[in-house]
Amino acid sequence: MSEKLQVAVAGIGRMGMRHARHFATLTPRAELIAVCSPVQAELDAAKEEFGVRTYLSFDNMLANEKTLQAVVVASSTTVHAEQAIKAIEEGYHVLCEKPLSTSPEISQSVVDAYRSSVKSYPKQKVMCGFSRRFDASYRDAFTRVSNGDIGTPSVFRSQTCDKLDPSGFFVAYAEFSGGIFVDCSIHDIDLALWFFGEDSKVKSVTAVGITAVQPELRKHNDRDNAVGIIEFYGEKTAQLYCSRMMAAGQMDCTEIFGTNGEIAVNTQPQSNLVNLFESTGVRREIPPDYYGRFREAFITEANEFTAACLNNDILPMSLEGAVKAVRIGSALQESLVSGEKIDFDESGNRVEAARL
């Protein structure tokens, strides 16, 4: 067996620890060697679990880990781009949690950094982790669509709906999340681009949102439920729903309607293969959160990213696509707030004058 990819994880909060665990124990070709976090308690927990070197400073980690090959950026969204760019410029492979940034411009700067760096490090891999692309069911759906099984995919409907968290966490979180379309629907937008083609051109976006359970979200220009339409050039359209109000658990599902059939992913959500027959009827549980639904996809992501770095394989998705998804998400969020439909010409420029 070949040598193992030497990996560090930046940011080891809830999601970062999961990435660390996937690389440390469930990615045979990778070796987790270091983690960093500004929180000492998190470092202690990681040291205890993985026996790795720990750093309070991202820069120090890069400076000291001489054998390091790849960095997983799982820190808070506000520093994604900064850390990713630093790692890129030093030639490391980078797996950055989504989104690169809540700002399309900053997201673009990561791509720019990579385009510049890859001239010096031609085998360098940089990926924004859209975990659903690694999910077995979505992949099955994509293969079928690619095979022409449903004809031309024409209408795309997808939702990312989180379980209600009555603690108020989402209100505080909304200040930095970029809003529900950037935070949640970014996945659905990425999927739309995947299924329709990454070169799909947006013709318009419209969004409407409400605050059904957490009116305080409005102070951050956010909503707890929102619906949106992305119109594409070439007879394609996408319909989105995002929510933070689900009672039963994580409800992420996608349907692709083609000229000759439809494929549905997870429209009948479930935790496992158990059904309970009780005096109140038949019941099944569903995953309580995003990780409960997509854990296997994250592990696949870690393994495939590792393989791509070691083998110099082409990554399954482009970094440009991640910027495009942020751009669309931001436009939807803007429409949500302004109440205006936003039109684009075929070059991607806004068509503002049309309404005057």
Site string for a second copy, 310-349 (x = CB under 8 A): -----------------------------xxx-x------
Residues 10-39 that bind a second copy (CB under 8 A): 24-26, 28
Shortest spacing between CB 264 and a second copy, in angstroms = 4
Range in contact with a second copy (rule: CB under 8 A) among 10-18, 94-102, 193-201, 229-237: 229-237
Burial per residue of 247-271, b for 16 or more beta-carbon CB atoms within 10 angstroms, e otherwise: eebbbbbbbbbbeeeebebbeebee
Site string for a second copy, 140-179 (x = CB under 8 A): xx--x----xx-x-xx-x----------------------
Site string for a second copy, 271-290 (x = CB under 8 A): xxxxxxxxxxxxxxxx----
DSSP 350: B
Q: By CB neighbour count within 10 A (0-12 exposed, 13-18 middle, 19+ buried), where does 167 fall?
A: exposed
DSSP 131: G
Range in contact with a second copy (rule: CB under 8 A) among 109-117, 122-130, 188-196, 242-250: 242-250
Please count the residues of the chain: 356
Range in contact with a second copy (rule: CB under 8 A) among 37-45, 84-92, 182-190, 258-266: 258-266
Task: Report the residue from 11, 16, 129, 209 that binds a second copy according to the rule CB under 8 A.
Answer: 209
Round to the nearest angstrom and report the end-to-end CA distance of the chain: 65
Please say whether the beta carbons of 326 and 49 come within 8 A: no
Gap between the Cα atoms of 154 and 261, Å rounded:
10
| Closer residue to a second copy in complex, CB, 114/194 | 194
Shortest spacing between CB 190 and a second copy, in angstroms = 18
Q: CA geometry: angle at 52 spanning 295 and 5, to 5°?
A: 65
Shortest spacing between CB 238 and a second copy, in angstroms = 8
Q: Which residues contact 199 (CB under 8 A, 6 or more apart)?
A: none
| Closer residue to a second copy in complex, CB, 79/264 | 264
Single-letter residue type at 5 = L
Residues 64-103 that bind a second copy (CB under 8 A): none
**How would you classify the pairing of strands 5-10 and 236-246?**
unpaired
By the rule CB under 8 A, 51 interacts with a second copy = yes
Gap between the Cα atoms of 321 and 318, Å rounded:
5
| Closer residue to a second copy in complex, CB, 103/204 | 204
Gap between the Cα atoms of 336 and 252, Å rounded:
21
By the rule CB under 8 A, 236 interacts with a second copy = yes
Please say whether the beta carbons of 197 and 189 come within 8 A: no
How many residues touch a second copy (CB under 8 A)? 78
